Amino acid sequence: MPGANVADVARRHGMSLGLLHHWRRLAREAAS
């Protein structure tokens, strides 16, 4: 969805923001 806020999309789908941040941190650490 163009221009969508990641947190808003996660909330709309019932996803925990804590889980989203955890996944993003893991991805960032794996990339470095």
Query: The domain containing residue 22 runs over which residues?
Result: 1-32
Per-residue pLDDT, 15: 93
Position 25 scores a pLDDT of: 95
Mean pLDDT by 10 residues, the chain (32 residues): 86 92 94 92
Rounded distance between C-alpha atoms, residue 29 and residue 23, angstroms = 10
CA dihedral 21→25→27→28, nearest 10 degrees, is 130
Q: What is the pLDDT of residue 7?
A: 86
pLDDT of 2: 82
What's the number of domains the chain is made of? Answer: 1
Task: Report the pLDDT value the prediction gives residue 1, as an integer from 0 to 100.
Answer: 67
The pLDDT assigned to 6 comes to: 86
